[in-house]
Amino acid sequence: MNDPFFPLRARFVDRSRDQLAALRLFLSGGEALTAATADGQLLKIAHSLAGAGGTFGFPDVSVLASRLEILLTADDAIEPKDVSGALGALIAELERLTP
């Protein structure tokens, strides 16, 4: 079977490894998560994964990243535990995807 999108999917998985490392750092400490939220780094990664995940055939990544993005862009004050929970779920899915 010749899948013309295989190279793109493989590149997405490779990039996801780098993003996973960054996400783990954000989750590792409250200050890191607060800083990543404040300067938009976390939102940028979540937005990227939300769009690319679905495009390249990883809908679970897209859904989880979208949930995180929604939390980060909510007008209401967000609870750090909600962000941590959404981030943890995204990390778990990326770990499953990138063994």
What per-residue confidence (pLDDT) applies to 76?
75
Over residues 38-43, the mean pLDDT reads 83
Rg (C-alpha) for the chain, rounded Å, is: 14
pLDDT value of position 5? 81
Rounded to the nearest integer, the mean pLDDT of the chain is 87
Mean pLDDT of the 11-40 span: 82
- The answer, as to whether pTM is greater than 0.85, is yes
End-to-end CA distance of the chain: 24
Query: Which tens digits make up the pLDDT trace of 47-59?
Result: 999 999 999 999 9
Q: Give backbone dihedrals phi and psi of 50, rounded to 5 degrees, phi first.
A: -60, -45
